[in-house]
Amino acid sequence: MVAVLRRVLAGLRAARGIALGLVYPPICPGCGAATAQPHALCPACWSQLRLIERPYCQRLGTPFAVDHGTGPLLSPRAMADPPVFGRVRAAVLYDGIARDLVHRLKYDDRLDLAPTLARMMAGAGAELVREADCLVPVPLHRWRLWRRRFNQAALLAQGLSMLTGLPVEVQALARVKATRSQVGLSRAARARNLQGAFRVPEAARPRLQGRRVLLIDDVTTTGATANAASRVLLRAGAAKVDVLTFALVAGEAL
Protein backbone atom coordinates (compact mmCIF):
# COMPACT_ATOMS: atom_id res chain seq x y z
CA MET A 1 0.00 0.00 0.00
CA VAL A 2 2.80 2.41 0.89
CA ALA A 3 4.63 1.61 -2.35
CA VAL A 4 1.47 2.24 -4.37
CA LEU A 5 0.92 5.57 -2.62
CA ARG A 6 4.51 6.61 -3.35
CA ARG A 7 4.07 5.82 -7.04
CA VAL A 8 0.83 7.81 -7.14
CA LEU A 9 2.49 10.82 -5.47
CA ALA A 10 5.46 10.58 -7.84
CA GLY A 11 3.06 10.53 -10.78
CA LEU A 12 1.23 13.58 -9.47
CA ARG A 13 4.51 15.47 -9.02
CA ALA A 14 5.57 14.57 -12.56
CA ALA A 15 2.22 15.71 -13.97
CA ARG A 16 2.47 18.96 -12.03
CA GLY A 17 5.94 19.54 -13.44
CA ILE A 18 4.72 18.97 -16.99
CA ALA A 19 1.80 21.35 -16.48
CA LEU A 20 4.02 24.07 -15.06
CA GLY A 21 6.44 23.57 -17.93
CA LEU A 22 3.65 24.24 -20.42
CA VAL A 23 2.59 27.43 -18.66
CA TYR A 24 6.07 28.62 -17.67
CA PRO A 25 8.64 27.11 -20.07
CA PRO A 26 12.05 26.66 -18.38
CA ILE A 27 14.68 29.24 -19.21
CA CYS A 28 18.40 29.52 -18.60
CA PRO A 29 19.09 31.35 -15.33
CA GLY A 30 22.17 32.86 -16.93
CA CYS A 31 20.81 34.47 -20.07
CA GLY A 32 17.09 33.70 -20.27
CA ALA A 33 17.30 31.38 -23.29
CA ALA A 34 14.92 28.42 -23.47
CA THR A 35 16.18 25.20 -21.89
CA ALA A 36 14.95 21.63 -21.76
CA GLN A 37 14.96 21.42 -17.96
CA PRO A 38 14.18 23.88 -15.15
CA HIS A 39 17.17 25.47 -13.39
CA ALA A 40 19.54 24.29 -16.13
CA LEU A 41 22.07 26.51 -17.88
CA CYS A 42 21.94 26.70 -21.66
CA PRO A 43 24.93 25.28 -23.62
CA ALA A 44 26.30 28.79 -24.29
CA CYS A 45 26.37 29.77 -20.60
CA TRP A 46 27.62 26.36 -19.52
CA SER A 47 30.54 26.59 -21.93
CA GLN A 48 31.63 29.86 -20.30
CA LEU A 49 31.98 28.32 -16.84
CA ARG A 50 35.49 27.35 -15.75
CA LEU A 51 34.76 24.13 -13.90
CA ILE A 52 37.23 23.11 -11.21
CA GLU A 53 38.44 19.59 -11.90
CA ARG A 54 41.35 17.46 -10.74
CA PRO A 55 44.20 17.96 -10.17
CA TYR A 56 43.66 20.42 -7.33
CA CYS A 57 45.00 21.05 -3.83
CA GLN A 58 43.40 18.55 -1.47
CA ARG A 59 43.08 21.14 1.31
CA LEU A 60 42.27 24.41 -0.49
CA GLY A 61 40.63 23.08 -3.66
CA THR A 62 42.74 25.36 -5.85
CA PRO A 63 43.43 23.84 -9.29
CA PHE A 64 46.94 23.09 -10.50
CA ALA A 65 48.02 24.09 -14.00
CA VAL A 66 49.69 20.70 -14.51
CA ASP A 67 49.26 17.25 -13.01
CA HIS A 68 51.95 16.68 -10.37
CA GLY A 69 51.42 12.92 -10.19
CA THR A 70 49.56 10.57 -7.90
CA GLY A 71 49.07 10.87 -4.16
CA PRO A 72 47.75 13.74 -2.02
CA LEU A 73 48.46 17.07 -3.70
CA LEU A 74 49.00 20.13 -1.54
CA SER A 75 49.65 23.66 -2.74
CA PRO A 76 52.55 25.66 -1.28
CA ARG A 77 50.05 27.89 0.52
CA ALA A 78 48.30 24.90 2.13
CA MET A 79 51.64 23.62 3.42
CA ALA A 80 52.94 27.00 4.60
CA ASP A 81 49.68 28.19 6.19
CA PRO A 82 47.31 25.23 6.77
CA PRO A 83 43.65 26.25 7.09
CA VAL A 84 41.59 25.72 10.23
CA PHE A 85 39.03 23.73 8.25
CA GLY A 86 39.77 20.35 6.72
CA ARG A 87 39.06 20.81 3.02
CA VAL A 88 37.31 23.27 0.74
CA ARG A 89 35.70 22.50 -2.59
CA ALA A 90 34.08 24.78 -5.17
CA ALA A 91 32.32 24.06 -8.43
CA VAL A 92 33.75 26.84 -10.62
CA LEU A 93 36.25 29.66 -10.75
CA TYR A 94 34.80 33.05 -9.90
CA ASP A 95 34.81 34.95 -13.18
CA GLY A 96 32.60 35.65 -16.18
CA ILE A 97 29.20 33.98 -16.04
CA ALA A 98 29.95 32.47 -12.59
CA ARG A 99 30.49 35.95 -11.12
CA ASP A 100 27.31 37.16 -12.85
CA LEU A 101 25.28 34.31 -11.35
CA VAL A 102 26.53 35.05 -7.83
CA HIS A 103 25.86 38.78 -8.19
CA ARG A 104 22.34 38.17 -9.52
CA LEU A 105 21.57 35.90 -6.59
CA LYS A 106 22.97 38.26 -3.95
CA TYR A 107 22.15 41.70 -5.29
CA ASP A 108 19.33 41.27 -7.84
CA ASP A 109 17.07 39.08 -5.67
CA ARG A 110 17.34 36.19 -8.14
CA LEU A 111 16.49 33.57 -5.56
CA ASP A 112 15.57 31.18 -8.37
CA LEU A 113 19.29 30.78 -9.06
CA ALA A 114 19.93 28.99 -5.75
CA PRO A 115 18.79 25.51 -6.94
CA THR A 116 21.04 25.77 -10.01
CA LEU A 117 24.12 26.71 -8.00
CA ALA A 118 23.32 24.14 -5.29
CA ARG A 119 23.12 21.36 -7.86
CA MET A 120 26.58 22.21 -9.18
CA MET A 121 27.94 22.41 -5.62
CA ALA A 122 26.52 18.97 -4.82
CA GLY A 123 28.44 17.50 -7.73
CA ALA A 124 31.70 19.28 -6.95
CA GLY A 125 31.53 18.47 -3.25
CA ALA A 126 30.17 14.93 -3.45
CA GLU A 127 33.03 13.55 -1.34
CA LEU A 128 32.49 16.14 1.39
CA VAL A 129 28.72 15.62 1.32
CA ARG A 130 29.11 11.87 1.86
CA GLU A 131 31.22 12.45 4.97
CA ALA A 132 29.10 15.26 6.49
CA ASP A 133 26.44 15.06 9.19
CA CYS A 134 24.92 18.50 8.68
CA LEU A 135 25.08 21.73 6.67
CA VAL A 136 25.82 25.07 8.34
CA PRO A 137 25.45 28.21 6.21
CA VAL A 138 27.79 31.14 6.85
CA PRO A 139 25.49 33.68 8.54
CA LEU A 140 25.00 37.37 7.84
CA HIS A 141 24.97 39.97 10.58
CA ARG A 142 21.40 40.91 11.49
CA TRP A 143 21.69 44.41 9.99
CA ARG A 144 22.97 43.09 6.65
CA LEU A 145 20.29 40.39 6.67
CA TRP A 146 17.67 43.08 7.30
CA ARG A 147 18.91 45.09 4.32
CA ARG A 148 19.25 42.13 1.94
CA ARG A 149 16.20 40.27 3.32
CA PHE A 150 17.79 36.85 2.74
CA ASN A 151 21.05 35.00 3.29
CA GLN A 152 22.36 33.53 0.04
CA ALA A 153 24.41 30.92 1.92
CA ALA A 154 21.27 29.70 3.68
CA LEU A 155 19.45 29.42 0.34
CA LEU A 156 22.31 27.35 -1.08
CA ALA A 157 22.32 25.16 2.03
CA GLN A 158 18.58 24.57 1.69
CA GLY A 159 19.04 23.61 -1.96
CA LEU A 160 21.81 21.20 -1.02
CA SER A 161 19.65 19.73 1.73
CA MET A 162 16.91 18.94 -0.76
CA LEU A 163 19.43 17.20 -3.01
CA THR A 164 21.39 15.32 -0.35
CA GLY A 165 19.05 14.85 2.60
CA LEU A 166 21.53 16.48 5.00
CA PRO A 167 19.89 18.66 7.66
CA VAL A 168 20.55 22.41 7.71
CA GLU A 169 21.56 23.86 11.08
CA VAL A 170 20.71 27.52 10.44
CA GLN A 171 20.94 28.48 14.12
CA ALA A 172 24.27 26.74 14.77
CA LEU A 173 26.35 29.80 13.90
CA ALA A 174 25.67 33.49 14.48
CA ARG A 175 27.44 36.56 13.12
CA VAL A 176 27.69 38.89 16.10
CA LYS A 177 30.05 41.51 14.68
CA ALA A 178 29.09 43.85 11.83
CA THR A 179 32.32 43.60 9.86
CA ARG A 180 33.23 45.92 7.02
CA SER A 181 33.06 44.60 3.47
CA GLN A 182 35.84 42.16 2.65
CA VAL A 183 36.10 43.39 -0.95
CA GLY A 184 39.54 44.83 -1.65
CA LEU A 185 41.10 43.68 1.62
CA SER A 186 44.30 41.62 1.75
CA ARG A 187 44.32 38.13 3.24
CA ALA A 188 45.74 39.44 6.51
CA ALA A 189 43.26 42.34 6.64
CA ARG A 190 40.36 39.95 6.01
CA ALA A 191 41.47 37.79 8.91
CA ARG A 192 41.71 40.81 11.25
CA ASN A 193 38.33 42.06 10.06
CA LEU A 194 36.70 38.76 11.05
CA GLN A 195 38.17 38.44 14.53
CA GLY A 196 35.31 37.87 16.95
CA ALA A 197 32.74 37.97 14.15
CA PHE A 198 31.18 34.54 14.77
CA ARG A 199 29.72 32.78 17.80
CA VAL A 200 27.93 29.50 18.43
CA PRO A 201 24.84 30.17 20.59
CA GLU A 202 24.73 28.13 23.79
CA ALA A 203 21.47 26.50 22.73
CA ALA A 204 23.11 25.21 19.53
CA ARG A 205 26.20 23.65 21.12
CA PRO A 206 24.59 20.26 21.87
CA ARG A 207 23.64 19.93 18.19
CA LEU A 208 27.28 20.28 17.13
CA GLN A 209 28.90 17.80 19.52
CA GLY A 210 30.90 15.25 17.55
CA ARG A 211 29.23 16.13 14.25
CA ARG A 212 31.00 16.55 10.93
CA VAL A 213 29.99 19.97 9.65
CA LEU A 214 29.90 21.10 6.03
CA LEU A 215 30.10 24.91 6.02
CA ILE A 216 28.25 26.48 3.08
CA ASP A 217 28.90 29.83 1.36
CA ASP A 218 28.67 31.30 -2.13
CA VAL A 219 32.33 32.21 -2.80
CA THR A 220 35.73 31.30 -1.38
CA THR A 221 38.24 34.15 -1.70
CA THR A 222 41.15 33.88 0.73
CA GLY A 223 39.49 31.45 3.13
CA ALA A 224 39.45 34.01 5.96
CA THR A 225 35.69 33.71 6.51
CA ALA A 226 35.82 29.91 6.45
CA ASN A 227 38.75 29.90 8.88
CA ALA A 228 37.01 32.23 11.35
CA ALA A 229 33.74 30.29 11.23
CA SER A 230 35.45 26.88 11.40
CA ARG A 231 37.51 27.87 14.43
CA VAL A 232 34.34 28.77 16.35
CA LEU A 233 32.51 25.59 15.27
CA LEU A 234 35.42 23.36 16.30
CA ARG A 235 35.72 25.06 19.68
CA ALA A 236 32.00 24.44 20.18
CA GLY A 237 32.47 20.70 19.75
CA ALA A 238 32.23 19.92 16.02
CA ALA A 239 34.34 16.90 15.10
CA LYS A 240 35.53 18.44 11.83
CA VAL A 241 34.60 21.20 9.42
CA ASP A 242 34.84 21.10 5.64
CA VAL A 243 33.77 23.93 3.33
CA LEU A 244 31.71 23.90 0.14
CA THR A 245 31.07 26.97 -2.02
CA PHE A 246 29.81 27.61 -5.52
CA ALA A 247 32.85 29.54 -6.71
CA LEU A 248 36.53 30.07 -5.96
CA VAL A 249 38.15 33.42 -6.73
CA ALA A 250 40.32 32.89 -9.83
CA GLY A 251 43.21 34.84 -8.33
CA GLU A 252 43.58 32.13 -5.69
CA ALA A 253 44.11 29.39 -8.28
CA LEU A 254 47.63 28.01 -8.70
User: What average pLDDT score do residues 71-86 get?
Assistant: 90
Q: Is the peptide bond before 25 cis (omega within 30 degrees of 0)?
A: no
Of the pLDDT bands very low, low, confident and very high (cuts 50, 70, 90), residue 21 is very low
Could you tell me the pTM of the whole model?
A: 0.85
Q: Minimum mean pLDDT among 40-44, 116-120, 124-128, 200-204: which range?
A: 40-44
pLDDT for 143 equals 85
Of the pLDDT bands very low, low, confident and very high (cuts 50, 70, 90), residue 13 is very low
Label residue 50 left, alpha or beta by phi (over 0 means left) and psi (-120 to 50 means alpha): beta
How far apart, in whole angstroms, are the C-alpha atoms of residue 87 and residue 193?
A: 22
The CATH code for residues 50-252 is 3.40.50
Mean pLDDT of the chain: 85
* 61: nearest Cα among 69, 70, 53: 53
**Amino acid letter, 32:** G
Is the per-residue pLDDT at 85 higher than 90? yes
Is the per-residue pLDDT at 39 higher than 80? no
pLDDT for 184 equals 62
Largest CA distance in the chain: 61
Q: Specify which residues 217 forms β-bridges with.
A: 245
**Amino acid letter, 222:** T
pLDDT in tens, 133-184: 999 999 998 888 888 889 999 999 999 999 999 999 999 999 987 765 666 6
Residues ≥6 apart with Cβ < 8 Å to 182 = 190, 193, 221, 224, 225
Domain positions in the chain: 1-48, 50-252
Check if the beta carbon of residue 208 is closer than 8 Å to that of residue 234: no
pLDDT for 187 equals 66
pLDDT in tens, 41-73: 889 999 999 999 999 999 999 998 877 666 678
Is the per-residue pLDDT at 10 higher than 60? no
Torsion sign over Cα 29, 33, 37, 43: negative
Higher per-residue confidence, 235 vs 73: 235
Order of strands across the sheet that contains 212-220: 88-94, 240-249, 212-220, 134-137
